[in-house]
Amino acid sequence: MRECPLTESRVLVQRAILERIEQERRTAHPLETGGFLEGYRRGRDIEITGLTVASSHDRASPVSFERCSLHHQQHLLASWRRSSGLISLVGDWHSHPAGQGAPSWTDRRAWARLIRSMHGDGVALIATAQGVRIFFLTALVKHKMASELLPIEETEHDCVFARS
Ligand SMILES: [Zn+2]
């Protein structure tokens, strides 16, 4: 298989996932909310096919969200088993009730932990009132762990994000 440069990685998100995230963001406002993203890795591309959403066992404030509930992990394990290992953890998402969705220092620290727990590259999504921002996470480039992707293609069912 050809090794694509980092900039060619694409992230495909089903529209239903983005709609669910928007719905969760609105419901939780003015608190943050979030969860895991699950999906497939295809070469350097990632397809997001599912997510976990917050429960009352998670910890949320207007400026922070912590996944404390066990259901996030349990959901991933169930998907992994049901798909015979095809679907796994590919990233996480959370909302920012205020601002433009710029990652905080805490976000970057959490993403560094996330990268270590995933077996490959990943995706971090920040949902704001203006829309979603998607960051490609990689352990390969130490000085630039997260790089923002932009929408390059939209169909009825999916949105594709890449370095434009
Ligand atoms: Zn954040």
pLDDT score at 8 = 78
DSSP string, 17-51: HHHHHHHHHHHHTTS--EEEEEEEEETTEEEEEEE
Residue 110 Cα to ligand 1 middle (Å): 9
Residue 25 near residue 34 (C-beta atoms within 8 A): no
Residue 20 Cα to ligand 1 middle (Å): 18
pLDDT score at 63 = 95
Q: Is residue 136 part of a domain?
A: yes
pLDDT score at 134 = 97
Q: Is residue 15 part of a domain?
A: yes
pLDDT score at 1 = 44
Residue 96 Cα to ligand 1 middle (Å): 6
Q: Is residue 27 part of a domain?
A: yes
Q: Is residue 3 part of a domain?
A: no
Q: Is residue 132 part of a domain?
A: yes
Residue 118 Cα to ligand 1 middle (Å): 19
Residue 121 near residue 138 (C-beta atoms within 8 A): yes
Q: Is residue 6 part of a domain?
A: no
Q: Is residue 110 part of a domain?
A: yes
- CA–CA gap between residue 6 and residue 140 (Å, rounded): 9
pLDDT score at 47 = 96
Q: Which of 4, 1, 55 is nearest to 33 (CA)?
A: 55
pLDDT score at 7 = 52
Residue 93 Cα to ligand 1 middle (Å): 9
Segments forming the whole domain that contains residue 46? 11-162
Residue 100 Cα to ligand 1 middle (Å): 10
User: In the chain, how many domains are there?
Assistant: 1
Q: Is residue 121 part of a domain?
A: yes
Which stretches of the chain drop beneath a pLDDT of 50?
A: 1-2, 4
Residue 3 Cα to ligand 1 middle (Å): 32
* Domain CATH code at residue 131: 3.40.140.10
